[in-house]
Structure 1
Amino acid sequence: MARLPNSTGEKFERLVEIMDTLRGPNGCPWDKQQDFNSLKPMLVEEVYEVLEAVENSDFEGMSEELGDLLLHIVFHAYLGKEAGHFDINTVIDKISEKLVRRHPHVFGEESASTADEVIKNWEAIKAQEKAQKLKSRTPDQRSLLEGIPSKLPAIHEAHQISSRAARVGFDWPDVEGIFDKLQEEVAELKEVISTGDDAGRRERLEDEIGDMLFVIVNIARYLKIDSEAALKRSNRKFKSRFRYMESELAKQGKTLEQASLEEMEALWQKSKSEAIPT
């Protein structure tokens, strides 16, 4: 019987070897069919499963889901190796070099005694790296917003965009200014709603609702609140209260369809005063 690996390095090598076997001549037909694009939706799904485990403090699940995510990193690196672009060593080298480079207060001569100083240094080094990459481009081809992935969830993307704009002073002077902007966007949305149904109405509604959401994200950013986390919290709260309503109606022998709006509203309000786990 083969000796099981003990060290972290040996365990990681075993995972890489397993991937090598799965993609090999006698490997798995499904694994051999996959490419970068086919793995994309599964990669995103694994990230969200990790996040769910984190939110639920499910440490057993977290260890499993992180393993699934690690598999995707190894899988993508293997595809890169097959195509002659990069391999897992390239991936490890790049992140190791980046961590050392961006922590000069640990691996170099600079000092940083607070987390804020670390972030400031990190951003400065990141900006230098970006400037180096953009050297070959003319000024009109460069953008402060470059590098924000277009595939980010829209709320996160909006936060990133507005944060970068704020760095150069393109921001509201105070949160009241953002609330004023929100009222402006609400008024514009109401105006579109009142225009009736025409060919371009749906697109205009989408524009105005998008503008309103963008402003709300900026309110959260200004108040140093994670919009995604805040919305997730509200989603959990709604689900918890809705389930309470369903449960209370079931005790009365009723379904949601059989209950009146007044009954549901009364139970909804009652759920707010109950200590319901979210």
Structure 2
Amino acid sequence: MQTVRTMVRPGGCAWHGVQTHETLTPFLVEETAEFIDAVERGLPADEVRSELGDVLYQVLFHAAIAERDGEGYDLAGVAEALNEKLIARHPHVFGDRGEMTVDELHAEWERLKEDAAGEERGSRGPLDGIPAGMPTLARAAKVVERLKRARLVDPSAGESHPDDPLATAIGPDERRMAENGIGDAMLALVVRANAAGVDPDRALRLAVDRFTARVTHGE
């Protein structure tokens, strides 16, 4: 932390000195992607460690900028707030709730989030808190997972709503497909989109919007 703080402060590195949270955002995305790539490629532990260090560097950098610009927090403040949240969100580990199943934990986390935000129990929608700026495919997966937790869709059954696109998109054969097969099918759709002159990212964004509107409208 002291190393990064020295680079960011006046008299340190000129490039570091002019960076902001906004200008660093692309680097955070890039470094995160490189760490994920190292994990998925099964690179040696030393290389994975190095990539994780680059992600940590981004956290330190943002904390140093906040400290330098008097934003009211530093790395210690970030860590303290995170520590408090982790303990509060895991009463089954640090409290007296006892062992809980994964489904019970999901429901408990939603209740704890409502309490932390001062909201009424049950007031949070199933899709609340999903960042609009998430990569489209990751956001689509998050939406489906959240709707599944809320029991509004059942991907494993291939049917959830009368007009649910999942009912036709996920049939018995596709449910048995392995990861490689699903990846090949998705790539085939990208090729098909290219041939049709369609932006596949936009097409998926619009499909997710239609899907969520259809499902939540009848919630």
Q: Do the structures match in fold with TM over 0.5?
A: yes
SS in 2 for 1:175: coil
Aligned equivalent of 1:75: 61
Aligned equivalents of 2:205, 2:55: Cα separation in 1: 34
Q: C-alpha deviations, 1:42-71, integer Å up to 9, x for none? A: 000100111111122221111111111111
Aligned equivalents of 1:104, 1:144: Cα separation in 2: 22
Q: Is the 8 A contact 1:102 1:121 kept in 2?
A: no
Q: Is the 8 A contact 2:136 2:205 kept in 1?
A: no
Does the C-alpha gap of structure 1 residues 209 and 25 become closer, same or farther in structure 2, counting only changes over 3 Å? Answer: closer
CA drift of 1:25 comes to 2.0
Aligned equivalents of 2:42, 2:155: Cα separation in 1: 38
Aligned equivalent of 1:22: 7
SS in 2 for 1:111: coil
Within a 5 Å distance, the mapping from 1:97-112 to structure 2 comes to 97-112=84-99
Q: CA RMSD for the aligned pairs?
A: 3.4
Does the C-alpha gap of structure 1 residues 20 and 166 become closer, same or farther in structure 2, counting only changes over 3 Å? Answer: same
Q: Is the 8 A contact 1:102 1:122 kept in 2?
A: no
- Percent of aligned pairs with the same residue? 28
Aligned equivalent of 1:61: 47
Q: C-alpha deviations, 1:142-170, integer Å up to 9, x for none? A: 53311111222211111111222222332
Structure 1 residue 131 corresponds to structure 2 residue 141: no
Does the C-alpha gap of structure 1 residues 176 and 127 become closer, same or farther in structure 2, counting only changes over 3 Å? Answer: closer
Does the C-alpha gap of structure 1 residues 89 and 122 become closer, same or farther in structure 2, counting only changes over 3 Å? Answer: farther
Residues matched between the structures, number: 176
Q: C-alpha deviations, 1:180-208, integer Å up to 9, x for none? A: 4339xxxxxxxxx9xxx9xxx969xx548
CA drift of 1:24 comes to 2.0
Aligned equivalent of 1:52: 37
Q: Is the 8 A contact 2:8 2:65 kept in 1?
A: no
Which amino acid counterpart does residue 137 of structure 2 have in structure 1? I
Does the C-alpha gap of structure 1 residues 175 and 90 become closer, same or farther in structure 2, counting only changes over 3 Å? Answer: same
SS in 2 for 1:170: coil
Aligned equivalents of 2:205, 2:6: Cα separation in 1: 50
Which amino acid counterpart does residue 135 of structure 1 have in structure 2? E
Structure 1 residue 211 corresponds to structure 2 residue 195: no
Larger Rg: 1
Which of these residues, 144, 159, 164, is aligned with residue 162 of structure 1? 144
Aligned equivalent of 1:40: 25
Does the C-alpha gap of structure 1 residues 179 and 106 become closer, same or farther in structure 2, counting only changes over 3 Å? Answer: closer
Q: TM-score, normalised by structure 2?
A: 0.67
Aligned equivalent of 1:218: none
Q: TM-score, normalised by structure 1?
A: 0.54
CA drift of 1:211 comes to 3.0
